[in-house]
């Protein structure tokens, strides 16, 4: 809540409502949430928060009892990030890669965006676990036919607003530059402000916002 003397932050601590008064606030949430969380934003928006568009997707964690077998001698072994040729999905990562071993049980984390669906969020919400698991396994089976036998457990998580979606003309539209400017002592810091969801961008904007506050 912006005030003449700074920012009042209202939050819940368990069942207890708490208020914190601040001189400055760094808002590190997705930009599209600003009109819903910041009082007065809708009445006098400093930028178009709705221009930061996010797609829905689901993430599946597959617990495998062993690594998928190589089909041909020339096959490249599992990498950390693996993308399937001509797949509607975003591929998968080998979540156990930091162990430094390439054998034995592992977990694959698979990503599937709903950007091709006209009502992606509604469609994703209406799919049940079995349908989403089938999408995942069917796609992966094209590269790893033994995936059905290897998978002991499959967990699915649906995300209605997974990450910002790059789209034509957004990067150079000027909206990002407006969103990086402080508004009533609120400093915005999120990967959204770069138009791509990368850790390096989150780090950059967090550092930028912190320096803005320290310079006041």
CB 162 within 8 A of CB 57: yes
Residue 116 in this model has a pLDDT that exceeds 90: no
Average pLDDT, the chain: 94
Helices marked H in the chain — which ranges? 34-37, 120-126, 129-141, 147-150, 175-179, 199-214
Q: What is the pLDDT of residues 180-199, one digit of tens each?
A: 999 999 999 999 999 998 99
DSSP β-ladder status, 106-113 and 54-64: antiparallel
Exposure pattern of 144-165 as b/e (b: 16+ CB <10 Å)? beebeebbeebebebbebbbbb
pLDDT score for 78: 86
pLDDT score for 115: 84
Q: What is the pLDDT of residues 62-86, one digit of tens each?
A: 999 999 998 777 777 889 999 999 9
């Amino acid at each position: 809540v912006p005030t003449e003397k700074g920012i009042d932050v209202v939050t819940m601590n368990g069942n207890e409502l708490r208020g914190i008064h601040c001189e400055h606030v760094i808002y590190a949430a997705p930009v599209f949430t600003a009109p819903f969380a910041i009082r007065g934003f809708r009445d006098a928006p400093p930028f178009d928060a709705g221009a930061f568009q996010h797609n829905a997707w689901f993430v599946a964690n597959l617990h495998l009892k062993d690594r998928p077998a190589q089909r041909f001698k020339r096959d490249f072994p599992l990498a950390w990030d693996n993308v399937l040729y001509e797949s509607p999905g975003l591929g998968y990562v080998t979540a156990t890669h930091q162990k430094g071993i390439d054998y034995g049980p592992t977990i694959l984390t698979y990503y599937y965006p709903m950007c091709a669906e006209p009502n992606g969020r509604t469609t994703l919400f209406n799919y049940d676990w079995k349908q989403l698991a089938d999408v995942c396994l069917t796609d992966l089976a094209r590269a790893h036919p033994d995936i059905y036998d290897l998978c002991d457990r499959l967990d699915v998580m649906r995300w209605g607003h997974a990450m910002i979606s790059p789209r034509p003309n957004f990067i150079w539209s000027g909206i990002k530059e407006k969103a990086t400017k402080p508004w009533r002592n609120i400093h915005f810091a999120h990967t959204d402000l770069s138009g791509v969801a990368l850790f390096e961008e989150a780090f950059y904007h967090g550092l930028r916002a912190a320096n803005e506050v320290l310079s006041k």
